[in-house]
Structure 1
Amino acid sequence: MAGVTAVAHRGDPYLARENTLASFTSAIAAGADAIELDVRLTADGVPVVLHDPTLERLWGHRAAVADRTAAEVAALTGGGVPTLAAALAVIAPVRTLIDLPERSPALAGAAVAAVRAAGAADRVYYCGDPGALRAVRAADGSAEIALTWKRTGRPRPSLLAELRPRWLNYRFGLVTRDTVERAVAEGYEVAAWTADSRRTMRRLAALGVTAITTNRIATLRAVLADGARRG
């Protein structure tokens, strides 16, 4: 199971609140090769790290991020929602997978600009809504893209040609040996999300995926180490 990239989903959410600097730090300490995080855009155009469109689930406020400035988001969360710039600085020891959950060219452009400003383009790649990924490709012709795929049908050839992804990033239940073999034959690497059971982790690694995203990064690291020992 050597060569599988261990991707921490929103950090280490069972030990620290998801998509926070503490969660990212915990995941790196647990052996993550990459951190997946979600980005939203504030009313004043600042990319911040949050999965949901509002602060309600994690922070107890119904406020929509898009309706608040970055300063207001920071005030409402006690500084708990980091800017993308702050997250990239903390995650510098490993790679960052930026998930763009909404079809917003403005969000994609702001994320790419923040990555450039941080000098982090060589350690960042992107997944998320295909519309957002189109905007990423338009903003950065050399960006590394992981095409997120949730359907049983294969991605359209026209979409693949437009996005030029390095990765096909499948929901874990869609991954079969045929899925992997076809992707590899066409020159893609295969990633899978979000696998939290040991059985699923082992199955995916055995099928030949080269990246696994999980909420349980320490468990995934242990599964991969055990597989490497077994040969």
Structure 2
Amino acid sequence: MALTVAHRGDPYVHRENTLPSVRSALLKGADAVEVDVRLTLDGVPVLLHDPSLDRLWGHPQAVAGLTSDEVFKLGGGQLPTLHDALAELLRHARGRMLLDLTGADQAAPSLAAVRDAGAQERVYYCGEATAMRAVRDADPAAEIALTWKTSAWPAPALLAAVAPRWLNLRFGLVDAGTVAYARERGLLVAAWTADWPRSMRRLLALGVDSVTTNRLTALQRLTGPPAA
């Protein structure tokens, strides 16, 4: 059965990419929690999808132009560092964390945070080619889900350089042909972000290996109860 991946935690219950959101998803039995990483001006990885604090925290400043202390204050103390998120992950006996990286500069600080936390066995990485090349260069053992958004398949040279375990596809791209393409290359298939039962059922029927969703409980109704 496909793994359940909670997109940015449990965002219909708690604000996305916060510790309560991560905790809620883990307590509900998500197989993995996907979180987004951005770097502050002083190089601290924090959990945030957008380049600025505007949408979630009401401040237009770009996180890359703020120190970690400034981000903490503007986020009302609720915008967590990756260090804090990994500590939360390790408080739970099961579940993994999927770090979504948008740039090559995020790779080394994120990998360092994971190493410092001793969380290597419970973390894997997703993102587009540049970021994933940087992860692979920094850690030959890292588990990578190469994010792909077009119907043109990754070049063989790219697959060889990144050596992903997963092909991480926008859910609308997943069909029998794409699943066969991945299987022929020894890749697992991850689909994101499916929020409606009809889409979830289609993906499960195609035999994908994981589904990322904002609606974890709805997906779990289809995949069955979480493992003990």
Decide whether the 8 Å contact of 2:37 with 2:45 is kept in 1: yes
1:165 aligns with 164
- Counterpart residue type for residue 5 of structure 1: L
- CA–CA distance in structure 2, aligned partners of residues 14 and 59 of structure 1: 17
* Correspondences of 1:128-139 after superposition (within 5 Å): 128-139=127-138
CA distance in 2, matches of 1:56, 1:78: 13
Q: Distance in 2 between matches of 1:225 and 1:41?
A: 37
User: Structure 1 vs Structure 2: percent identity of aligned residues?
Assistant: 58
Deviations 1:122-143 (A, max 9, x none): 1111111311111111110110
Deviation of 1:106 after TM superposition, in Å, equals: 2.5
Q: What's 2:65 paired with?
A: 67
Counterpart of 1:88 (choices 86, 103, 121) is 86
Aligned to 1:229: none
Q: Are 1:214 and 2:213 counterparts? A: yes
The aligned runs of 1:149-160 (5 Å cut-off) are 149-160=148-159
Do the aligned partners of 1:31 and 1:217 also contact (CA within 8 Å) in 2? no
Residue identity opposite 1:181 in structure 2: A
* Matched residue SS, 1:51: coil
- Counterpart secondary structure, 2:147: strand
TM-score, normalising length from structure 1? Answer: 0.94
> What is the CA–CA distance in structure 2 between the aligned matches of 1:57 and 1:91, rounded to whole Å?
25
Equivalent residue, structure 2, for 1:42? 40
Unaligned runs of 5+ in 1: 227-231
Aligned residue identity for 1:177: A
* 1:17 aligned residue: 15
Structure 2: give runs of 5+ residues left out of the alignment: none
- Paired with 2:80 and 2:173, the residues of 1 have a C-alpha distance of 33
SS at 1:18 equivalent = coil
Amino acid at match of 1:25: R
Native 8 Å contact 1:31 1:218 kept in 2? no
User: Match of 2:31, as an amino acid?
Assistant: D
Cα distance between partner residues in 1 of 2:179 and 2:152: 14
Per the alignment, in what secondary structure is the counterpart of residue 91 of structure 1? Answer: helix
| Contact 1:27–1:217 (Cα < 8 Å) also in 2 | yes
Post-superposition offset of 1:185: 2.0
Q: Which residue of 1 aligns with 2:186?
A: 187
User: Which runs of at least 4 in structure 1 moved beyond 4 Å after TM superposition?
Assistant: none
